[in-house]
């Protein structure tokens, strides 16, 4: 079932949680609402579920207006941040709850309930825990039971609030891959909220980046990572170096070097911010005759798949971070305090007015 | 070798820690003795006195004091007052705590203050309020006489006064508990399609049952033991409007000490049972594995 969100506004007292939000979630997609805490992403999720009502705007499910539809009739599954499992019921009863509370006419028989609950517990690979109580489970197990419970009512939309937020790093990684596979199997329209960009980039079909109650950018993981629409998205998705620069007739000037852009040809001497990802910085030990920034290696982080360098530019005060492969690092034979020459491979410039251009 | 060393280090650390954080023996013992002396003086000795005085003239006098008609009528009235006020306060307490803990609305702080009112007001004043409203010279006095209804100096007045003094107990017990539990489980129930009643029965009540039971026991103890408010509205008519605490007072004023202490010992016994139940409930809610309850509408 597709979801259309139109001009949603929501205020809590003086705080604007959502400011004119528009969003389409196509049928069967897995969409991530990504943003820092307080950006309105959880409020948006709760409005889709019907747990909050918007001050203004409308929600449509499958083209039908559903803004005032009762939560119970929305056919959504909701997985809460802290799972909200019923602590006095067994795992089995937790999953069966949504079926048991149905009116007599539509309630499945006891045998049917048994069959479906065990089917769901098998789906989340926890059939052997049916008789346990929630306090006896680990965080990852609770998470999967919460998911099974949400799926028991055969929702048309699955909503997950920070689904992996309370888990430790290892379990989180396993679970999000598992969620992705599960989604590929079930093809149920899903929206999940997260503040973890890595999680959103890995799991989602599409990412909705939010900040201060507004949507900053919507796009596939690759789109938002490679072509961020605003400085905020640039900074929020991964590490980035920020340079003060000047744009003049299609040329960006950072310190002594200038790079040609394929936009801003008519701009005369405007201040701008330039962004370069750490892995888009080339490091040389010789000037090479090219236009480069001179810097001194101030710290080397060699643990991990690639080597991260903290660099102190000669003419600027802010440190620069560069990421190079281990092979390249060996080739260069760098030491702390070594003089290096930097060349941005790929730069994106935002004029002070806020327009954007990839080079 | 290395394990022995580390074990030794661990042991030393333990000893050092306990020495570092505790007071010298004489401080500990004087504090314990002061506490014990205080408790004996104000609790144990009076409690023992109640039972010894009650049995001073022998067991037969004791039983006789309890089975005489006026005493039986006082016991009966006390049970009636508790039996009516308890369920009413149970419903009110759960409703108020549910509203306060799970919803946001205007006037919430006023409601909380109102619930605390009986704690703040002297019970005698609570009794007087009902006399002013329902008494002969009160607002509804003439109307009640015209319709041949008696509130003051009758059972309804006693029940009203009892409800007034006991109504904070359950709500006060439940509000912090329900606030701590939050409303995520209720919301989960809602999304899964449960109706308001189903959520109350299958999610909210099972989660608060120990706190609720605790509140009920405190309410019951107070309902049976209340003196001030009931004294004002009762009129002290023997065999008619006397509750157990009032009956004790009358007997005592008539120098019938053995009988007074006999009835008092019943109330004291009730207090001991209440304490035992309270400890049991606290132990249960802390240790028990939560019992399962199938959801069948």
Give the nearest partner residue to B295 out of A77, A100, A104, using CB atoms. Answer: A100
Global pTM reads 0.78
CA dist B226 and B221 (Å) reads 8
The domain ranges of chain A are 3-233, 241-358
| Distance from the first to the final alpha carbon of chain A | 39
* Interchain pair B195, A153: CB under 8 A: no
Kindly state the average pLDDT of the residues A200-221: 92
CA distance B71 to chain A (A): 45
- pLDDT, residue B134, reads 86
Chain B contact present for A157, CB below 8 A: no
Cβ within 8 Å, pair A84-B188: yes
Please give the pLDDT value at position B2: 46
Chain B contact set for A102 (CB, 8 A)? 193
Q: Do B192 and A152 touch (CB under 8 A)?
A: yes
Degrees to nearest 5, angle at CA A146 with A143 and A151: 125
CA distance A335 to chain B (A): 39
Longest dimension (CA), chain A: 82
8 Å CB contact between A258 and A291: yes
Kindly identify which residue of chain A lies nearest to residue B203, measuring between CA atoms.
A86
Q: Please say if the pLDDT value at position A305 is more than 90.
A: no
CATH 3.40.50.300, applies to A3-233: yes
Comparing B154 with A142, which gets the higher pLDDT?
A: A142
pLDDT tens-digit profile of A145-166?
999 999 998 899 999 999 887 7
Residues of chain B under the 70 pLDDT cut: 1-19, 287-297
Cα distance between residue A46 and residue A59, in whole Å: 12
Tell me which residues of chain B have a C-beta less than 8 Å from any C-beta of chain A.
Answer: 184-185, 187-195, 198, 202-203, 206-207, 289-297
| Domain A241-358 -> CATH class | mainly beta
Mean pLDDT of chain A: 88
B189 to A49: CB separation less than 8 angstroms, yes or no: no
Cα A271 to Cα A246: distance, rounded to the nearest angstrom: 5
Q: How many CB pairs under 8 A join A and B?
A: 81
């Amino acid at each position: 079932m597709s979801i259309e969100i139109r001009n949603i506004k929501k205020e809590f007292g003086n705080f604007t949680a959502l400011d004119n939000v528009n969003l389409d979630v196509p049928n069967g997609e897995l969409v991530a609402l990504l943003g820092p805490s307080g950006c309105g992403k959880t409020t948006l999720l709760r409005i889709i579920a019907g747990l909050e009502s918007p001050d203004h705007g409308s929600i449509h499910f499958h083209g039908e207006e559903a803004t005032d539809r009762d939560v119970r009739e929305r056919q959504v599954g909701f997985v809460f941040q802290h799972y909200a499992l019923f602590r006095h019921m067994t795992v089995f009863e937790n999953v069966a709850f949504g079926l048991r509370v149905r009116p007599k006419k539509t309630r499945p028989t006891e045998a049917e309930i048994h069959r479906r609950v065990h089917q769901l517990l098998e789906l989340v690979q926890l059939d052997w825990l049916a008789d346990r109580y929630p306090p006896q489970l680990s965080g990852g197990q609770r998470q999967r039971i919460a998911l099974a419970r949400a799926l028991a009512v055969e929702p048309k939309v699955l909503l997950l609030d920070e689904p992996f937020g309370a888990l430790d790093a290892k379990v989180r990684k396993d679970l999000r891959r598992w969620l992705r596979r599960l989604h590929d199997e079930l093809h149920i329209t899903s929206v999940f909220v997260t503040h973890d960009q890595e999680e959103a980039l890995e799991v989602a079909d599409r990412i909705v980046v939010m900040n201060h109650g507004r949507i900053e950018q919507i796009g596939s993981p690759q789109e938002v990572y490679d072509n961020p629409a605003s400085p905020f998205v640039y900074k929020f998705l991964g590490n980035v170096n920020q340079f003060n620069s000047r744009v003049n007739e299609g040329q960006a000037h950072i310190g002594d070097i200038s790079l040609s852009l394929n936009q801003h040809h008519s701009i005369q001497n405007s201040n701008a911010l330039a962004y370069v990802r750490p892995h888009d910085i080339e490091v040389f030990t010789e000037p090479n005759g090219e236009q480069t920034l001179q810097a001194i290696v101030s710290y080397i982080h060699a643990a991990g798949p690639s080597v991260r360098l903290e660099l102190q530019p000669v003419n600027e005060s802010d440190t620069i971070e560069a990421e190079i492969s281990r092979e390249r690092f060996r080739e260069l034979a760098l030491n702390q305090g070594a003089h290096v020459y930097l060349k941005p491979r790929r730069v994106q410039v935002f004029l002070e007015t806020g327009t954007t251009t990839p080079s | 070798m290395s394990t022995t060393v580390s074990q030794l280090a661990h042991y030393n650390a333990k000893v050092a820690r306990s020495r570092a954080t505790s007071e010298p023996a004489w401080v500990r013992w004087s504090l314990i003795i002061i506490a014990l002396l205080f408790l004996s003086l104000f609790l144990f000795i009076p409690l023992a006195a109640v039972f010894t005085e009650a049995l001073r003239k022998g067991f037969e006098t004791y039983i006789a004091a309890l089975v005489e008609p006026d005493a039986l009528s006082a016991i009966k009235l006390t049970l009636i007052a508790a039996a009516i006020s308890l369920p009413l306060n149970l419903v009110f307490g759960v409703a108020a705590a549910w509203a306060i803990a799970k919803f946001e609305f205007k006037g919430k702080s006023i409601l909380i203050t109102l619930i605390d009112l009986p704690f703040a007001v002297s019970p005698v004043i609570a009794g007087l309020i009902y006399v002013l409203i329902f008494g002969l010279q009160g607002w509804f006095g003439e109307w009640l006489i015209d319709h041949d209804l008696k509130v003051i100096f009758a059972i309804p007045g006693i029940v009203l006064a009892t409800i007034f003094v006991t109504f904070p107990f359950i709500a006060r017990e439940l509000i912090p508990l329900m606030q701590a539990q939050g409303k995520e489980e209720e919301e989960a129930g809602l999304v899964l399609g449960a109706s308001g009643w189903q959520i109350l029965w299958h999610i909210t009540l099972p989660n608060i049952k120990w706190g609720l039971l605790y509140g009920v026991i405190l309410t019951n103890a107070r309902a049976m033991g209340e003196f001030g408010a009931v004294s004002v509205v009762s009129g002290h008519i023997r065999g008619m409007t006397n509750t157990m605490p009032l009956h004790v007072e009358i007997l005592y004023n008539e120098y019938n000490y053995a009988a007074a202490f006999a009835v008092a010992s019943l109330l004291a016994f009730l207090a001991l049972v209440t304490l035992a139940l309270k400890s049991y409930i606290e132990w249960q809610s802390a240790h028990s594995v939560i019992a399962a309850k199938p959801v069948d509408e």
